[in-house]
Structure 1
Amino acid sequence: MRKAGNEQSRPPVKRRLKTKPVLVVLGILLAGNLLWFTLWATKDGGSAAEGSEQVASVGKTSITREDWMAAMESQYGRETLRELVNRSVMEAAAKKYGIRVSDGEIDLELALLRSEGEGTSDAFGETDGSLREQVKSRLILEKVLTKDVIVEDGDIKRYYKENEALYDVKSAYRASVIVLPDQEEAEKALKELDNGSSFGVLARERSIDAASASLGGDIGYVGESSENIDPAIVKAAEGMKEGDIAGPVTLADGTVAVIQVSGVYKGRSFKFDEVKDQIRRELALEQLTQSVTPEAFWNEFDAQWFYGDE
């Protein structure tokens, strides 16, 4: 088990980009919806016996697979299909307007996302691939909207100089926590982990922090700029390696946490030439009088869906 050393100070950012990536909710929604879509898509292809298969029961009352999938369709169906249509519409727009999104551009957006402590949750089995696709679709939309907007080179350089610290992205750590009432309970949890217990399962069973417990303890990426994470968690996570477990760590409210790091993003500094296109796009977006969503392009690319007119 390892704990980090001294925290490094980060210069204040004078102005934040108006359209900074905030994909936490989108990532979780997409992943949950895609899970639902996979199950729903198999409904008609399965046999009647599979549809009536019991997936749960309460006393003598059965809940069938058909009941389960119908409930998921009601809750997630519309937004799942919307996301899939929007992604296809953006791909069509990219081809029509000759727009390309490079891996480097996606990497930059993800780095800025992690630097804000806005990492996504694996609660619904989200993958890095699905998150990258989300970022790619958003970048295509932004490039279409700003392709004819003029931004002076001087404004781009000035913004970079004023906000250079924003592009000095520090290391971020994908962390999970088990929050317990006292040191004794934390020691018991550590012992169970040493004996092979699953961190995620233990977090769901034992953690008194309901929000993270429901996600198997996952709190996303943490680092120097994490504003809503207890500083003791950030300090403990910094410097840990993937798979490390640390604790007990006393938190500000007197509770005690056990921490696991499941992934490490190594920080880096982005130079002007690497971010000038992103700054130009962000400044161009600020000139637009109203926000535009992918749905605005549905008619242009003859997009139709099960739910009728959008």
Structure 2
Amino acid sequence: MKKKIIAAAMTGSILLLGACSANNETIAKVGNDAISKEEFYQQLKTNGGTSTLQSMIENSVLTAKYKVSNQEIEDEINRLKSNFSSDDEFKTQLAQQYNINTDEDLKVFVEQTLLRYKAIADGVKVTDKQLEQYYKENKDNYISIEASHILVDKKEDAEKLLKELKNGADFAKLAKENSKDGSALNGGALGKFGKGQMVPEFENVAFSLKENEISDVVKTDYGYHIIKVTKIDKKTLKNAKEQIKKDYIMETQSYPEEMVKLLKKAKVKVSDKDYENVVEDMLTQYQTAIDQAEAQAQTTEQVEEQSTEETTETAE
């Protein structure tokens, strides 16, 4: 969904330009060959015209009912940045995962995300009891750490370096001089990460350390590590209630269901005959997503019930 949002935002203005042309005005020439606006528009229609128009209609339906302020966008961007150790790391992840390379693309992405959140959160009431249960079940998602490591191939080398550290040697200096992976360039810094992002042997030790504590030698398939935790960030219902509430709503509410309601109420008129069924197709796609989600939920519930029954039988 997020990639579609970005694609729609980036191509939307181009599609609108083509849609306004009703003549063969030339927009480019290659030698003696001319490319008209009409040809350009037809090519755009062929190359993803349906999905682009659907995204634009979806966005218009949302903005007709919900508004996102510049302050909300700025606050959300700052919140997203807080999940990374540096701006460079943040930008790298945006580029790799969502093809976001400019500040303007980021603002569009965040605005679209907030609009969709407002749609599913509209009228939803969440009790403290629901939040407490959700937090309890997802506590691991709300703890992250910043850590550094020194990675070598031989256990005896790691033990020698650990002895130097215990005698007061500088961790970053030893990492630069001895660590065999790319983190050596940054003094062994691995950045910020949460549970489930590192191999179990490394993660179990890293998340058991206190701030500025150094581990014993840890063996993984990559070699022998010495780990140092530099920062621990733990979100709780006291210091991050609004974010946890937002996560709860995002996970428990159905965006396709909301879009079905909004589309049915919206007065969408499509003048291009090639796209006269575009709204009906959108409704079908959303309904399919709803049906699949319900089927998945039912399967999960059945598996959990079976597991509970088996556990009860074993106990008896």
More helix by share: 2
Q: Identify whether the pair has TM-score above 0.5, normalized to the shorter chain.
A: no
- Pairwise TM-score range, normalised by the shorter structure: 0.3 to 0.5
TM-score computed with the length of structure 2 as normaliser: 0.44
Larger relative contact order, structure 1 or 2 (CA cutoff 8 Å, min sep 6): 1
Query: TM-score, normalization: structure 1?
Result: 0.45
